[in-house]
Amino acid sequence: MNPCPSGTQQHFLERAPVLLRDWITSFLPGSTRWLADSLIDIASILAVFGLLFAFLTLAERKVLGRVQNRPGPNRTGWMGLLQPFADGIKMLTKEDVVPRAADPVLHFLAPVALLAFSILTFAVIPFGRNLVPLDLDAGVLYFFAAGSATELAIFMAGWASHNKYALFAAMRALAQLISYELPLLLSFVPVVLATGSLSPTGIVAAQAGWRWGAVPNWLVFTPWGAAGFAIFMISALAESNRSPFDLPEAESELIAGHLTEYSGFKYALFFMAEYFGMCALSGMAVTLFLGGWHAPLPVLEIIPSYAWFAAKLLVLLAGFIWIRATLPRLRMDQLTKLAWKFLVPLALINLGTTAFWTLTHPWEGPLQLLRWGVALGLVLIPPVLLGRGLSSGLGPRRYRYA
Amino acid sequence: MLGIGLLQGLAVTARNLIGSFHDPKRFVTTQYPEERTKLPEAYRNFPFLVAENATDPMGTLRCVACQICEKECPPQCIYIEKSKDKKPDANGKMQIYPAIFAIDTAVCMSCQICVEVCPFDAIKMDQVFEFAATDRFNGLVLDRVQLAKPNSYFHGIHPTEAAEVDGRLAAARKAAEEKARLAAAAKAAPKPPPAPKVDPPAE
């Protein structure tokens, strides 16, 4: 968390987390402060996202309940607010079963590795103006590299369990995660192209300011940015194994998929990793497309930057839950078809759109209208054309004897 | 158009999400221990013994310890011991009564055969389902004090069946009184006329 060099004195709330950290480390000798700083960063990330995970599970169950016209968990504590802790105690006290045929080392390592890789991704996300745990020059690359390693852990879980359902799930997970890795990566390349930076702080800095004093310079408000954001979020849904892409743990087909042979706290670790992955990908989407920690209006800058980041993150997470409450699961062929025949071509076209957008930056006056028109056309027409081919040969099924 | 169906689905779930906050009628669940749904009249699970009088249930049990239900019970969950003495029943006739009448609800399979074979309408099906006990051997065995419930309770849970039973019993009682009156009259008269035909009680 290196304070950004800034000419003007920042708001007190803006500096509060850094001041608190500096106050704590001021009791330590100077030579150990760098270590203490990093440890405090790690501890605060774990605490904040651990609690967010806990209450996200509660919020998810509440929202799913409301969507199905029932109240959701409401017995433990006021409005069920203590439910995550009750669940945690339950998970901790359950028996940890390791199948006799399982590979004990890999079986143990899989949830640990999955969680570790998920937590690693938080390191480079700028949570606020002064809250960047690790400002890497190629932070975005680091983020996706750490995120892709989770696939290995999921396959490890499926392989080590020595269970047919787990192995099926692991193979599905590999097919799905590798398929969606491509559109996920291709959808952020335009951002790198337009901002000229691989560092998350640089990308956030490029989205500062307002057009005509009201429209923020967030990348989602450009035609290619909106398309990239949509592709990124669809791929993020698939990458975090969330409904409608929850094929690896499809309850109705594969018992619990790669979680079949896991119980107790290891099972909880898998869930924690899934939610951490979801939070990290949403945080990256906020950073890449939604302006990071920037406020939407100049007047609203009085609210500290990390609050804006949290608000945007929560909106995206609510979207994840809403989609889970709505959409049914895809079939395996539909899943890969969507990735390879729809999202990858769209992401490649989007790359071209971005190149056009960047090259036409100096255009003025009526040429500006032409620029917007061409870009909007490039963004809106290909999905319609590709969408037709998506279900070709798969007309509505007629039941002749039903 | 591509994606319209997805948006329609999202709109449906959003409507349900918001609607469930301001329209309690949408709720499909009841908060069980605090709220209870009214059970349908046809619902029945375990048997109970019908007593005529709510104030003295043990003295006015309809059961005469004939042990038919005990013998018919497929899982044999009923245990009856006859009394040594006799007590007047609801019609004033001296009858033996069950000194012990126990039903093991852990064994009972709710088949209702005991109800169907009982010639005295003394055993009927109840609607109580909260029998949770910490001791599965003794805690789930109901004795005759626990089983006895007044006729008014029977009217409360199964009104149609109770009215039918009451009508049948009243008709039988009336027929018995008529027969007794005619017998007394025949005894008093010097020369008995040909015996009048008594209609059998309508079943």
Q: Does A384 touch chain B (CB under 8 A)?
A: yes
| Strand B47-51 with B148-150, pairing | parallel
**A256 confidence band (pLDDT: 50, 70, 90):** confident
**Residue linked to tokens 């390592």:** A109
State yes or no: pLDDT of B200 exceeds 70. Answer: no
Model-level pTM greater than 0.90? Answer: no
What is residue A7's predicted lDDT score, i.e. its pLDDT? 46
**CA nearest to A389 within chain B:** B2
Q: What is the 3-state secondary structure (H, E, C) of A17-46?
A: HHHHHHHHHCCCCHHHHHHHHHHHHHHHHH
- Would you say A163 and A324 are in contact if contact means Cβ atoms under 8 Å apart? no
pLDDT average, residue stretch B65-87: 90
Q: Give the residue extent of every domain in chain A.
A: 47-93, 97-383
Of A248, A288, A254, A287, the residue nearest A270 (C-alpha): A248
Distance CA A234, CA A105 (A): 34
A173/chain B closest Cα distance in angstroms: 24
* pLDDT tens figures, B2-16: 778 888 989 999 988
DSSP string, A115-156: HHHHHHGGGG---SSS--S---TTHHHHHHHHHHHHHHHHHH
**A392 confidence band (pLDDT: 50, 70, 90):** low
B12/chain A closest Cα distance in angstroms: 8
A66/chain B closest Cα distance in angstroms: 5
**A215 confidence band (pLDDT: 50, 70, 90):** confident
B13 and A67 within 8 Å at the Cβ level: the answer is yes
State yes or no: pLDDT of B203 exceeds 60. Answer: no
User: Strands, E, within A136-277: which ranges?
Assistant: 210-211, 215-216
Taken in order of first residue, the domains within chain B and their CATH numbers are 47-158 (3.30.70.3270)
**Chain A interface, mutation test: which of B1, B7, B20, most A Cβ atoms within 10 Å?**
B20
Task: Count CB neighbours of B200 within 10 A.
Answer: 9
Tokens for B41, please give them. Answer: 């009249």
**B contacts of A63 (beta carbons < 8 Å):** 17
B105/chain A closest Cα distance in angstroms: 30
Distance CA A278, CA A281 (A): 5
**B contacts of A384 (beta carbons < 8 Å):** 1-2
Of B88, B125, B89, the residue nearest B108 (C-alpha): B125
Distance CA A111, CA A156 (A): 9
Q: A 326-355 residues with CB below 8 A of B?
A: 326-327
**B contacts of A383 (beta carbons < 8 Å):** 2
| Strand B78-82 with A215-216, pairing | unpaired
B7/chain A closest Cα distance in angstroms: 10
What is residue A98's predicted lDDT score, i.e. its pLDDT? 86
Q: Does B1 touch chain A (CB under 8 A)?
A: yes
The residue count for chain B:
203
**Chain B interface, mutation test: which of A61, A63, A69, A70, most B Cβ atoms within 10 Å?**
A69
* pLDDT tens figures, A122-161: 988 998 888 888 888 888 999 988 888 888 888 888 888 8
A69 and B16 within 8 Å at the Cβ level: the answer is yes
What is residue A257's predicted lDDT score, i.e. its pLDDT? 80
What is residue A5's predicted lDDT score, i.e. its pLDDT? 46
Beta bridge partners of B95: B87
A70 and B29 within 8 Å at the Cβ level: the answer is yes
**CA nearest to B5 within chain A:** A327
Of A319, A164, A176, the residue nearest A246 (C-alpha): A176
Q: What is the CA radius of gyration of chain B?
A: 26
- Would you say A234 and A183 are in contact if contact means Cβ atoms under 8 Å apart? yes
What is residue B1's predicted lDDT score, i.e. its pLDDT? 64
State yes or no: pLDDT of A1 exceeds 50. Answer: no
Distance CA A3, CA A12 (A): 13
A169/chain B closest Cα distance in angstroms: 26
**Chain B interface, mutation test: which of A70, A79, A324, most B Cβ atoms within 10 Å?**
A70
Q: Does A67 touch chain B (CB under 8 A)?
A: yes
Of A290, A273, A283, the residue nearest A310 (C-alpha): A283
Distance CA A8, CA A5 (A): 9
State the first-to-last Cα distance of chain A, in angstroms, to the nearest integer: 64
Q: Which residues contact A386 (CB under 8 A, 6 or more apart)?
A: A341, A342, A345, A346
pLDDT average, residue stretch A315-330: 90
B3 and A70 within 8 Å at the Cβ level: the answer is no
**A contacts of B3 (beta carbons < 8 Å):** 387
Size of the A and B interface in Cβ pairs below 8 Å: 49
Of A68, A318, A73, the residue nearest B20 (C-alpha): A68
**B contacts of A69 (beta carbons < 8 Å):** 16, 19-20, 26-29
Q: Does B13 touch chain A (CB under 8 A)?
A: yes
B13 and A70 within 8 Å at the Cβ level: the answer is no
A181/chain B closest Cα distance in angstroms: 22
Distances (CA, A) of B8 to A244, A323, B17: 16, 12, 14
Q: Does B21 touch chain A (CB under 8 A)?
A: yes
B16 and A70 within 8 Å at the Cβ level: the answer is no
B17 and A67 within 8 Å at the Cβ level: the answer is yes
Distances (CA, A) of A146 to A113, A116, A142, A201, A268: 11, 9, 6, 18, 21
Q: Which residues contact B63 (CB under 8 A, 6 or more apart)?
A: B49, B97, B98, B101, B120, B122, B123
Tokens for B37, please give them. Answer: 């749904």
**Strand, coil or helix: what is A256?**
coil
* pLDDT tens figures, A264-313: 888 889 888 889 989 999 999 999 998 888 888 877 777 888 888 999 99
Is ipTM beyond 0.85?
no
Distance CA A340, CA A343 (A): 6
Q: What is residue A258's DSSP assignment? A: G
